[in-house]
Chain A
Amino acid sequence: MSGLNGKARKRVVVAMSGGVDSSVAAALLKHEGHEVIGLMMRLWSEPGMGAAAPHNRCCTPDQMADARRVADKLDIPFYVLDTQDYFRQTIVQFFLDEHRRGRTPNPCIECNRKIRFDYLLNQALALDADYLATGHYARIRHNGQVYQLLKGLDEAKDQSYVLHVMGQSELSRVLFPIGEYEKAQVRQLAAEFGLPVASKGESQDLCFLGDGDYRRFLRDYAVDLAHPGPILNQDGLVLGQHEGLSNYTIGQRKGLGIAAPEPLFVLRKDPQNNALIVGTKAALGRSELTAHTVNWMADAPPPGPIAAEVKIRYKARPIPATVTPLDSGRVHVQFAEYVNGITAGQGAVFYQGDLCLGGGLIAETLTQSEAPLEVQLPEQS
């Protein structure tokens, strides 16, 4: 069933969310005879959002109660870890800082890097656990030399994109028991195990937002981002005024408030000049990107350029590309085709088939035609 089949009884901490995936992960491990401990992190959430949304959406009281019920059903201990301060200092702060840099961060990637497979993994090891297990759809394999991360068997549910931050030491200590199953099978297993969660929904991306409205959150928590500035075309001509860079996403068309002969799209953000750069659909496509903070599952970059498929968003299609390692933990990605929606701050994750090789965060992309910019301010009237 999981990677431990036939091996000795181990102590495994399962990160439980109350949802079906982590519950089935716990049940599978228990069923295999391991000593299983349920842990749930209490993460920070925006205070003062009223009775409707006072809790982080990854750990509401209902979810806690569900996880507790599952733990009781499985006869395993269950604890809640107060992770609010550390989550706020790392993930929420990172979210705000990245928006200040004009980027669109994926907090789940950062949470996996700093919280789940660092803080939580070490909490589990301190409890003398041999492994930390989570309910992610991905697979870990040892090929005789190194641990490898593979896409989940259910490609539609695959979560390797947000797991690309793991290295050998994490991969050797982590289990993904449901990565070998399709979602439908997981639901069936939940029913077979008699778990009271078989119909639960998915966990939430921006779990710490009181109301799910990140623009409103930024207005409240990063007041400095709310500065209006110019909307420029690629030639630096002012076309209008934006209401703060964080209110816009790359590829956005609606809500720009500009009358133009052709539809205009947000191409990129220039936080240094507080400018929003727009252009036609044709200008939206790019053929390359640079990524920073790159992690390789093998702990080291390949010696030279490699052919790979690259995903630029969680739900994006993998696109054939050449990935070339650069210095300082960066890579250059040359796509075989023009790609829309490349967004600074999102992850660029490299695959060869099912194998996830690594990934990084997308840096600001400058094509030759638009760099450097000279801003032409309109004359005062």
Chain B
Amino acid sequence: MFGQQIYMDHGATTPLHPAVLEAMLPYWTQDYGNPASSHHFGRMAERGLEKARRDMAELLGTRPQTIIFTGCGSESDNLAIRGVMAAARAAGRGNHLITSILEHKAVLGTAKQLRDYDGYELTVLPVSEYGQVAPEDVAAAIQPNTVLISIMAANNEIGSWQPFQEIGAIARDRGVLFHTDAVQAAAYTDWHLNDMPIDLLSLAPHKFYGPKGVGVLYRREGVELLSSQTGGGQEFGLRAGTVNVPLAVGAAAAFRLAIQEQQSRTACYQQLSQQLITGVLSQLPPDEVMLTGHPTDRLPHHVSFAFRGLKGNELLMHLDMAGIAASSGSACVSGDPKPSDTLIALGLGEAWQKGGLRFTVGSQNSPDDVAYVVSSLLEAVHKLRHLSLQYA
């Protein structure tokens, strides 16, 4: 905090890319019209919005009419799940939803609310020690009244990829819709949605150097959704409200850069991640620290540890004092950290459950930064280990 600041929390959010900012600028002050208006200003805004939609569609390998701009990744998840379940119920097509214990709260919380307050049936699948859902578990959970399977593309807390293509294929084969929350993963794999067994996909541009306040939902044509926010007929009648044109433009600009630079970013992040993983694991005994999530089948920028007997929040405090920004699985500003649901789901013992720590590297990080993070982290672990023994 008093010297340099190293940001390694890109899984939380990223800085805006200067080129993205530049792309957005005209739409704040110049082409600021409401894209639903028929006059000159409206047409200029609509042109920007529809260009953004076409760009997103092209980059995702799909058609523009499948792209819905929302307010954030969570809203995309909500619209997908609530929308599909409500439409299916209205049409008498079923009542059952399948998801996993490791989903982001935007999915899991939504699914549980649908179960608890709206009478839907819910199956929550377990995960392996690496946090991955087994496709055969998905297949076994499908019932005649199953409407939707929602399994994320990659996990936010432990970085593991899910076998989302296999799961999607099972869903398609069984006539069930498949939604994937790709909020963490969107920038790190190639999408050709026309040819993938994915019916709905959520993404959030602020995870890849785009703006906050905008999300995208891909909805395959023909998938029936009941809008949860009603009003004007914006976004194919699925998401009422004046569309935020500058943010939609920023979303597309950021995604274009992410896809264009995907290979170089991935290579760079992977190297930094590996340096961090090796640096920490080589310096601490395996009964004190573990890499959580899959060792290799994980997001390239994602490093997650669990420390036995330590609290992630206290590690974060020490790191923050050293000028390092990271996050913990039980992120909490009230000093009342609950054991991480994710770490519990992986089967970790109680001593590990509050000790989650996540680093997500990004474009402005260097190998020197990582070296500094490793040494600062080891020092913090050493001090807190000492204190935890003293005050056990």
Contact = CB atoms under 8 A, between A and B. Distances in A.
Contacts of A80: 313, 333-335
A119 B334 contact: no
Contacts of A37: 321
A340 interface: no
Contact of B387 (A59, A122, A128): A122
A127 B318 contact: yes
B313 A82 contact: yes
A86 B391 contact: yes
Interface string B1-45: 110000000000000000000000000000000000000000000
A54 to B, nearest CB: 10
A126 B2 CA distance: 17
Nearest to B330: A82
Contacts of A41: 335
A122 to B, nearest CB: 6
A35 B1 CA distance: 10
A240 to B, nearest CB: 45
Given A77-B1, A119-B391, A59 B335 contact: yes
Given A82-B336, A82-B337, A77 B390 contact: no
Given A41-B335, A79-B317, A80-B334, A126 B1 contact: no
A37 B2 CA distance: 11
A81 B1 contact: no
| Size category of the binding interface on chain A | 20 to 34
A241 interface: no
A41 B391 CA distance: 14
A40 B317 CA distance: 12
Given A123-B387, A126-B387, A35 B334 contact: no
B383 interface: yes
B121 interface: no
A136 interface: no
Nearest to B392: A86
A84 interface: yes
B320 A82 contact: no
A82 B321 contact: no
B321 A40 contact: no
Interface string B370-387: 000000000000011011
A59 to B, nearest CB: 7
A40 B335 contact: yes
B321 A61 contact: no
A91 interface: no
A64 interface: yes
Contacts of B2: 35
A126 B384 contact: yes
A40 B335 CA distance: 8
Secondary structure dominating the interface of B: helix
B308 interface: no
Interface in A65-92: 68, 77, 79-84, 86
A42 interface: yes
A61 B334 contact: yes
A68 B311 CA distance: 21
A61 B336 CA distance: 11
Nearest to A119: B391
Contacts of A68: 333
B58 interface: no
Nearest to A40: B335
Nearest to B318: A127
B103 to A, nearest CB: 26
B391 A64 contact: no
A79 B1 CA distance: 13
Interface in A228-262: none
A122 B314 CA distance: 13
Contacts of B387: 122-123, 126
Nearest to A41: B335
Contacts of B313: 79-80, 82
Contacts of A79: 313, 317, 320
Residue from A37, A80, A86, A119 having most chain B Cβ neighbours under 10 A = A80
A83 B335 CA distance: 8
Given A40-B335, A61-B334, A77-B1, A128 B391 contact: no
A59 B321 CA distance: 23
Interface in B306-332: 311, 313-314, 317-318, 320-321
Interface in B350-392: 383-384, 386-387, 390-391
Given A35-B2, A81-B314, A122-B390, A127 B321 contact: yes
A42 B334 CA distance: 8
Contacts of B314: 81-82
Given A82-B313, A122-B390, A123-B387, A128 B321 contact: yes
Contacts of A81: 314, 317, 335
Contact of B335 (A82, A126, A128): A82
Nearest to A43: B335
A42 B390 contact: no
Nearest to B384: A126
B384 A64 contact: no
Nearest to A126: B383
Contacts of B335: 40-42, 59, 64, 80-83
A126 B334 CA distance: 21
Contacts of B386: 126
Given A77-B321, A80-B333, 4 more contacts: A35-B2, A64-B334, A119-B391, A126-B384
Interface of A: 35, 37, 40-42, 59, 61, 64, 68, 77, 79-84, 86, 119, 122-123, 126-128
Interface of B: 1-2, 311, 313-314, 317-318, 320-321, 333-337, 383-384, 386-387, 390-391
A-B pairs, top 10 by smallest CB distance, nearest first, are A80-B335, A42-B335, A126-B383, A79-B317, A82-B335, A86-B391, A119-B391, A42-B336, A127-B321, A82-B337
8 contacts: A41-B335, A42-B334, A79-B317, A81-B314, A119-B391, A122-B390, A126-B386, A127-B318
